[in-house]
Amino acid sequence: MPRFIHNVADLIRRVLFLARPYGRAKLGFVFSLSLAQALFQVIGITSIFPFLAIAADPDRIRRSHFGTRFLNLFPPMEDRQLLLVAGIIAIVGLFASNAVNLLAEFARTRYSENFGHWLRVRLLRRMASQPYTYFLQRNSGDLLKKILSDVASYTNGVLLPLLDTVARAVTAALVLATLFLVQPVIAVSAAIGLGGFYVLIFRLLTRKRREVDENLRISVSGVFREAQQMLGGIKPVKVHHAEEHFLKRFSRHSAVIAQTNARMPIFSNSARYLVEPLAFGGLVVAVLLLAAKGRDFSDILPNLGVMALAGYRLLPSLQLLYSQLTQISSVRHALDEVYDEFAAAESDRSVLPGTSRDGLIPVTPFHWNDGISLREVSFRYPGASRLALDGLSLNIPKNSSVGVIGPTGSGKSTLVDLLLGLYQPTAGEILIDDRLLTPELVRSWQASIGYVPQDIFLIDDTIARNVAFGLPDDEIDFARLREACAMAQILDFIEADLPVGFDTYVGERGVRLSGGQRQRIGLARALYHRPSLLILDEATSALD
């Protein structure tokens, strides 16, 4: 049990860690509605007691202490009128209970969905603010899974059930308290019997459930990774007839997900089918015991009605509590994945300069006059045994052209990445106008660079948005756009050969364009921002 309490405390701590920046007031409002929901559930249950008592024996209710206090709330009336008033009160109480119940469920769902949207955006912004080395050490499919799958699994499978669990737990406690006032022995027996039964089933299935959950976690990552690799490299996949290879690997993970999800209802619903007949049997035994003690039916009926309605409210709450705890346990890994991402940012005090802990801060280009100097620069990739660059010294005057040649693996692209500020040297230093290129200066320095990589990345959008990369439509300067495309010698093709010109969609990664056309758009992109430094990494390899 201490381990269970520790796990619950850790779960709540992680949930609050993620939810706190979204706003405590919003979470407090949801909890307040959950408490109101529990209170109105009890009101709905107790509201039928006067009606049943009057229907069973009007004279008995008039003589009782409770009945006297109840009747003093109304003017004198006959039994039929009193029964009608009590019936109306019961109906209104049940309607009010259900209305608050609906409102609370809507509030919890809306909070969960809005929080999920906020968390997805925050997580992607957090990733975007990471240094380049962060992405070298991670699979992009796993990052996509965190954003698209883990956040949804967390909000729908942990946060929402946890909020609902609080409401159900309070409801169950208040219903049991109400039942205790009517029949203390039965209430205590129900609490111990039903509660103990659910705890026993939950503990018995814990080990198997953890095994299933781990298989599900691995397989969900696998389907994202295999699908992305196959679709992202569809050209070589088709050329080399490798479709079946990737399909088999994808199918293997997908089959595990299907088998696991098919077994989930067994864990969440198995207790329900055992508890319902046991609970009804307990109600029958309670009635028989009351009758055996010589209690009149008119005395048993009101108690029976309250117990029946309490059971009607209590059993679903207990079943939902159990199934939600099972669901939380099953997708706990999603919470851990998202939490670990933000906890790492919280513990890492060396946040990438030019960023906040939640994203990027706009910068202005760095102005320089003289040149770039590399002094004894060495660099080793994380985990590598040998240096990619070893003691390189180089001076690049401003307004000069410098070509770097060498065999494959000699460090040309590494040098480019160092000049771009994507890496920090392992040893040595890079200076811009005798000013050290520190992490604090990197983003401003990058804003002054035009870069054309070996592999041009184009988004599935228009030519205009690909050239003015990262700018909203109202900030695109079409005069500058035409100027950059003319310099890249692709303006005539865009305006003469394409029916909609700059509004032409290029397809994913520019698949509707030739290799040379993609490179020219990449070159136009680099020139559009009028950089003070142009870096070309084999940028004309596909051009005539």
**Residue 350 within any structural domain of the chain:** no
Question: In this structure, are 456 and 411 located in the same domain?
Answer: no
The arithmetic mean of pLDDT across residues 10-19, rounded, is 86
Band of pLDDT at residue 73, cut at 50, 70 and 90: confident
Give the mean pLDDT of the chain: 80
pLDDT of 427 reads 92
CATH value at residue 14: 1.20.1560.10
Dist. CA 24–CA 115, nearest whole Å? 12
Q: Please identify which residue in the block is written with the tokens 């035009």.
A: 450
Mean pLDDT lowest among 225-239, 459-473, 512-526: 225-239
Who has greater pLDDT, 533 or 59? Answer: 533
Judge whether residue 90 has pLDDT over 90.
Answer: no
- Banded model confidence at residue 379, pLDDT cuts 50, 70, 90: very high
One domain for residues 163 and 205: yes
Question: Residues 528, 449: contact at Cβ < 8 Å?
Answer: no
Is 510 domain-assigned?
yes
Where a domain ends, among 438, 464, 497?
438
Whichever domain contains 394, its CATH number is 3.40.50.300
Read off the pLDDT of each residue in 43-71 and give the average, rounded to a whole number: 72
Pair 413, 279 in one domain = no
Domain boundary among 381, 415, 438: 438
Query: What are the CA-CA distances from residue 17 to residues 13, 14, 112, 345 (Å)?
Result: 6, 5, 15, 12
Instruction: Please check whether residue 359 lies inside any domain of the structure.
Output: no
Please check the confidence at residue 350 and state whether its pLDDT lies above 50. Answer: no
User: Above 90 in pLDDT, residue 118?
Assistant: yes
Asked, for residue 351, whether it belongs to a domain, the answer is no
CB 373 within 8 A of CB 410: no
Let me know whether 142 and 286 are in one domain: yes
Cβ–Cβ contacts within 10 Å for residue 429, how many?
14
Burial label for 167, CB within 10 Å (0-12, 13-18, 19+), is: buried
Domain count, the chain: 3
* Residue 47 structural domain: 1-343
At position 523, the amino acid (one-letter code) is: L
Q: At 29, which amino acid appears?
A: F
Residue 349 lies in a domain: no
288 and 335 together in one domain: yes
Question: Looking at the structure, do residues 212 and 268 belong to the same domain, yes or no?
Answer: yes
Query: Per-residue pLDDT for 277 more than 80?
Result: no
CA 483 to CA 490: how far, in whole Å? 10
Looking at the structure, do residues 319 and 461 belong to the same domain, yes or no?
no
Residue ranges of E strands in 448-523: 449-452
Residue 118 belongs to a domain: yes
What H or E segment, with its residue span, contains residue 377?
strand 371-379
pLDDT digits (tens, 9 = 90+) for 122-132: 999 888 888 88
396 in the same domain as 318: no
315 in the same domain as 221: yes
Domain shared by 525 and 399, yes or no: no
Regarding whether 430 and 483 lie in a shared domain, the answer is no
Question: Left (φ > 0), alpha (ψ -120 to 50) or beta: where does 274 sit?
Answer: alpha
Confirm whether 333 is domain-assigned.
yes
Among 176-190, 309-323, 377-391, the range with the most confident prediction by mean pLDDT is: 377-391
**Residue at 353 is within a domain:** no
The one-letter code for the residue type at 80 is R
Alpha carbon 408 to its chain centroid, in Å, reads 42
Which phi and psi (to 5°) does residue 374 adopt?
-110, 125
pLDDT-based confidence at residue 303 (cuts at 50, 70, 90):
low
Q: Whole-model pTM?
A: 0.72
Asked whether residue 418 falls in the same domain as residue 456, the answer is no
Helices (H) and strands (E) in the chain, counts: 22, 8
Domain boundary among 343, 375, 408: 343
pLDDT tens-digit map of 412-448: 888 898 999 888 999 999 999 988 988 888 888 888 8
Give CA–CA dist 267/209, Å, rounded.
8
Distance CA 362, CA 517 (A): 31
Res. 51: pLDDT tops 70: yes
